Amino acid sequence: MSKRGVTILLTLLLTVCLIGMQQVKTGREGQSLAAEAETAGDKLVALTFDDGPHEGSTERLLEGLKEREVKATFFLIGQSVEGKEELVKQMAQDGHLIGSHTFHHVQLTGLSLEEACGEITMTNEAISGVTGQTVEYIRPPYGSWNSKLECAVNMHEVGWTVDPRDWDVKDTDVIVKRVLNDVKDGSIILLHDVYDTSVEAAFQIIDELKAQGYTFVTVDRLLID
Protein backbone atom coordinates (compact mmCIF):
# COMPACT_ATOMS: atom_id res chain seq x y z
CA MET A 1 0.00 0.00 0.00
CA SER A 2 1.27 3.47 -0.86
CA LYS A 3 2.02 6.07 1.80
CA ARG A 4 -1.00 8.01 0.60
CA GLY A 5 -3.20 4.96 1.06
CA VAL A 6 -1.90 4.35 4.59
CA THR A 7 -2.59 7.99 5.49
CA ILE A 8 -6.15 7.76 4.19
CA LEU A 9 -6.76 4.52 6.12
CA LEU A 10 -5.44 5.96 9.38
CA THR A 11 -7.59 9.06 8.92
CA LEU A 12 -10.69 6.92 8.42
CA LEU A 13 -9.91 4.82 11.51
CA LEU A 14 -9.39 7.94 13.62
CA THR A 15 -12.68 9.40 12.42
CA VAL A 16 -14.57 6.21 13.30
CA CYS A 17 -13.01 6.15 16.78
CA LEU A 18 -13.92 9.78 17.42
CA ILE A 19 -17.51 9.20 16.32
CA GLY A 20 -17.76 6.14 18.57
CA MET A 21 -16.42 8.04 21.59
CA GLN A 22 -18.87 10.86 20.99
CA GLN A 23 -21.78 8.39 20.81
CA VAL A 24 -20.73 6.81 24.12
CA LYS A 25 -20.42 10.23 25.75
CA THR A 26 -23.78 11.31 24.38
CA GLY A 27 -25.36 8.07 25.59
CA ARG A 28 -24.00 8.53 29.11
CA GLU A 29 -25.15 12.14 29.21
CA GLY A 30 -28.55 11.06 27.99
CA GLN A 31 -28.81 8.42 30.72
CA SER A 32 -27.76 10.96 33.35
CA LEU A 33 -30.30 13.50 32.15
CA ALA A 34 -32.99 10.84 32.03
CA ALA A 35 -32.22 9.81 35.62
CA GLU A 36 -32.35 13.44 36.77
CA ALA A 37 -35.64 13.99 34.99
CA GLU A 38 -37.12 10.85 36.54
CA THR A 39 -36.04 11.87 40.05
CA ALA A 40 -37.25 15.43 39.54
CA GLY A 41 -40.80 14.17 39.14
CA ASP A 42 -40.70 11.96 42.24
CA LYS A 43 -42.10 12.61 45.67
CA LEU A 44 -39.05 12.44 47.94
CA VAL A 45 -38.93 11.27 51.55
CA ALA A 46 -36.08 10.49 53.95
CA LEU A 47 -36.07 7.71 56.53
CA THR A 48 -33.79 8.50 59.47
CA PHE A 49 -32.85 6.28 62.40
CA ASP A 50 -31.46 7.41 65.77
CA ASP A 51 -29.71 5.69 68.70
CA GLY A 52 -27.99 2.82 66.85
CA PRO A 53 -26.20 0.78 65.99
CA HIS A 54 -27.91 -2.17 67.66
CA GLU A 55 -26.51 -5.61 66.92
CA GLY A 56 -29.85 -7.31 66.38
CA SER A 57 -32.38 -4.82 65.05
CA THR A 58 -29.94 -2.69 63.04
CA GLU A 59 -28.60 -5.76 61.28
CA ARG A 60 -32.11 -6.81 60.32
CA LEU A 61 -32.91 -3.27 59.19
CA LEU A 62 -29.88 -3.12 56.90
CA GLU A 63 -30.88 -6.41 55.30
CA GLY A 64 -34.43 -5.17 54.68
CA LEU A 65 -33.28 -1.85 53.27
CA LYS A 66 -30.93 -3.62 50.88
CA GLU A 67 -33.70 -5.95 49.70
CA ARG A 68 -35.91 -2.92 49.03
CA GLU A 69 -33.08 -0.90 47.44
CA VAL A 70 -33.63 1.97 49.87
CA LYS A 71 -31.01 4.37 51.23
CA ALA A 72 -31.55 5.76 54.73
CA THR A 73 -29.77 8.03 57.21
CA PHE A 74 -28.38 6.77 60.52
CA PHE A 75 -27.48 9.02 63.45
CA LEU A 76 -25.24 6.91 65.64
CA ILE A 77 -24.38 6.97 69.35
CA GLY A 78 -20.60 7.13 69.52
CA GLN A 79 -20.19 4.72 72.41
CA SER A 80 -22.35 2.15 70.60
CA VAL A 81 -19.98 1.93 67.65
CA GLU A 82 -17.41 -0.13 69.55
CA GLY A 83 -18.01 -3.83 68.98
CA LYS A 84 -20.37 -3.12 66.07
CA GLU A 85 -17.83 -1.85 63.57
CA GLU A 86 -18.94 -4.35 60.92
CA LEU A 87 -22.48 -2.99 61.03
CA VAL A 88 -21.20 0.56 60.58
CA LYS A 89 -19.00 -0.55 57.69
CA GLN A 90 -22.03 -2.20 56.11
CA MET A 91 -24.02 1.03 56.42
CA ALA A 92 -21.33 2.92 54.55
CA GLN A 93 -20.86 0.22 51.91
CA ASP A 94 -24.60 0.09 51.25
CA GLY A 95 -24.67 3.84 50.57
CA HIS A 96 -26.48 5.01 53.69
CA LEU A 97 -25.64 8.42 55.16
CA ILE A 98 -24.10 8.23 58.63
CA GLY A 99 -24.28 11.11 61.10
CA SER A 100 -23.65 11.86 64.76
CA HIS A 101 -26.09 11.57 67.66
CA THR A 102 -23.41 12.44 70.28
CA PHE A 103 -21.25 9.98 72.17
CA HIS A 104 -23.46 9.41 75.23
CA HIS A 105 -26.87 10.62 73.97
CA VAL A 106 -26.73 13.83 75.99
CA GLN A 107 -28.53 17.16 75.74
CA LEU A 108 -25.81 19.35 74.28
CA THR A 109 -27.24 22.65 75.47
CA GLY A 110 -26.97 21.41 79.06
CA LEU A 111 -23.19 21.07 78.73
CA SER A 112 -20.38 23.57 78.54
CA LEU A 113 -19.21 24.38 75.04
CA GLU A 114 -16.05 22.35 75.61
CA GLU A 115 -17.99 19.32 76.83
CA ALA A 116 -20.49 19.54 73.96
CA CYS A 117 -17.73 19.77 71.37
CA GLY A 118 -16.04 16.78 73.02
CA GLU A 119 -19.21 14.71 72.64
CA ILE A 120 -19.41 15.58 68.96
CA THR A 121 -15.70 15.12 68.25
CA MET A 122 -15.51 11.72 69.95
CA THR A 123 -18.50 10.49 67.96
CA ASN A 124 -17.13 11.75 64.66
CA GLU A 125 -13.81 10.06 65.33
CA ALA A 126 -15.50 6.77 66.26
CA ILE A 127 -17.50 6.77 63.02
CA SER A 128 -14.81 8.02 60.64
CA GLY A 129 -12.33 5.60 62.19
CA VAL A 130 -14.52 2.79 60.87
CA THR A 131 -15.79 4.21 57.58
CA GLY A 132 -12.92 6.49 56.57
CA GLN A 133 -15.53 9.14 55.76
CA THR A 134 -15.92 12.61 57.26
CA VAL A 135 -19.03 13.01 59.41
CA GLU A 136 -20.86 16.14 58.26
CA TYR A 137 -24.36 15.79 59.75
CA ILE A 138 -25.59 15.72 63.33
CA ARG A 139 -28.96 15.17 64.95
CA PRO A 140 -28.61 16.50 68.50
CA PRO A 141 -30.56 14.45 71.06
CA TYR A 142 -33.91 16.04 71.90
CA GLY A 143 -33.32 18.49 69.04
CA SER A 144 -31.27 20.59 71.45
CA TRP A 145 -28.90 22.86 69.49
CA ASN A 146 -27.75 26.48 69.58
CA SER A 147 -25.78 29.03 67.58
CA LYS A 148 -22.66 28.64 69.75
CA LEU A 149 -22.38 25.02 68.64
CA GLU A 150 -22.77 26.09 65.01
CA CYS A 151 -19.73 28.30 65.43
CA ALA A 152 -17.70 25.66 67.27
CA VAL A 153 -18.23 22.67 64.97
CA ASN A 154 -18.52 22.60 61.20
CA MET A 155 -21.55 20.33 60.92
CA HIS A 156 -25.08 20.47 59.58
CA GLU A 157 -27.86 20.04 62.12
CA VAL A 158 -30.71 17.78 61.00
CA GLY A 159 -34.20 17.84 62.48
CA TRP A 160 -37.33 15.95 61.45
CA THR A 161 -40.87 16.64 60.25
CA VAL A 162 -42.64 13.34 61.06
CA ASP A 163 -42.28 11.85 64.55
CA PRO A 164 -44.50 8.84 65.37
CA ARG A 165 -42.89 8.57 68.83
CA ASP A 166 -41.93 4.99 68.11
CA TRP A 167 -39.71 4.89 71.20
CA ASP A 168 -42.79 5.47 73.34
CA VAL A 169 -45.56 3.38 71.76
CA LYS A 170 -43.44 0.42 70.56
CA ASP A 171 -46.42 -0.69 68.46
CA THR A 172 -45.77 -1.35 64.77
CA ASP A 173 -49.32 -0.68 63.59
CA VAL A 174 -49.54 2.62 65.46
CA ILE A 175 -46.16 3.76 64.18
CA VAL A 176 -47.08 2.98 60.57
CA LYS A 177 -50.45 4.71 60.86
CA ARG A 178 -48.96 7.87 62.37
CA VAL A 179 -46.30 8.14 59.68
CA LEU A 180 -48.67 7.53 56.78
CA ASN A 181 -51.10 10.10 58.16
CA ASP A 182 -48.45 12.84 58.34
CA VAL A 183 -46.02 12.11 55.51
CA LYS A 184 -45.79 14.32 52.42
CA ASP A 185 -43.27 15.20 49.74
CA GLY A 186 -40.04 16.29 51.42
CA SER A 187 -40.78 14.68 54.80
CA ILE A 188 -37.99 13.60 57.15
CA ILE A 189 -39.24 10.63 59.18
CA LEU A 190 -37.78 10.00 62.64
CA LEU A 191 -37.47 6.38 63.80
CA HIS A 192 -35.13 4.44 66.10
CA ASP A 193 -33.40 1.29 64.86
CA VAL A 194 -32.95 -0.12 68.37
CA TYR A 195 -36.55 -1.40 68.48
CA ASP A 196 -37.84 -4.39 66.51
CA THR A 197 -41.27 -2.75 66.29
CA SER A 198 -39.71 0.27 64.58
CA VAL A 199 -37.76 -1.88 62.12
CA GLU A 200 -40.90 -3.76 61.11
CA ALA A 201 -42.77 -0.44 60.85
CA ALA A 202 -40.02 0.91 58.59
CA PHE A 203 -40.48 -1.99 56.17
CA GLN A 204 -44.24 -1.46 56.02
CA ILE A 205 -43.81 2.29 55.58
CA ILE A 206 -41.36 1.77 52.72
CA ASP A 207 -43.61 -0.72 50.93
CA GLU A 208 -46.68 1.51 51.24
CA LEU A 209 -45.00 4.78 50.27
CA LYS A 210 -43.27 3.17 47.31
CA ALA A 211 -46.71 2.03 46.14
CA GLN A 212 -47.81 5.67 46.44
CA GLY A 213 -44.97 6.84 44.20
CA TYR A 214 -42.47 8.02 46.82
CA THR A 215 -38.71 7.75 46.36
CA PHE A 216 -36.50 7.30 49.42
CA VAL A 217 -33.33 9.41 49.64
CA THR A 218 -30.73 10.21 52.26
CA VAL A 219 -31.48 13.33 54.25
CA ASP A 220 -28.69 15.41 52.70
CA ARG A 221 -30.58 15.24 49.40
CA LEU A 222 -33.58 16.97 50.95
CA LEU A 223 -31.47 19.58 52.70
CA ILE A 224 -29.64 20.42 49.47
CA ASP A 225 -32.83 20.60 47.44
**∠ CA 197-181-175 to the nearest 5 degrees?**
10
Q: What is the dihedral of CA 221, 217, 91, 132, to 10 degrees?
A: -20
Enclosing H/E stretch for 90: helix 85-93
Give catalytic status of residue 96 as yes or no: no
Spot the catalytic one: 51, 96, 192, 193. Answer: 192
Distance CA 165, CA 156 (A): 23
The catalytic position among 50, 51, 166, 193 is 50
Is 196:207 a contact under the CB 8 Å cutoff? no
Report CA dihedral (63, 58, 160, 107) to the nearest 10 degrees: -160
Which of 61, 115, 67 shows the shortest CA–CA distance to 91?
61
The CB density around residue 175, as the number of other CB atoms within 10 Å, is: 26
- Is 166 labeled as catalytic in the residue annotation? no
- The SS3 call for residue 3 is helix
Residues with catalytic function:
50, 192
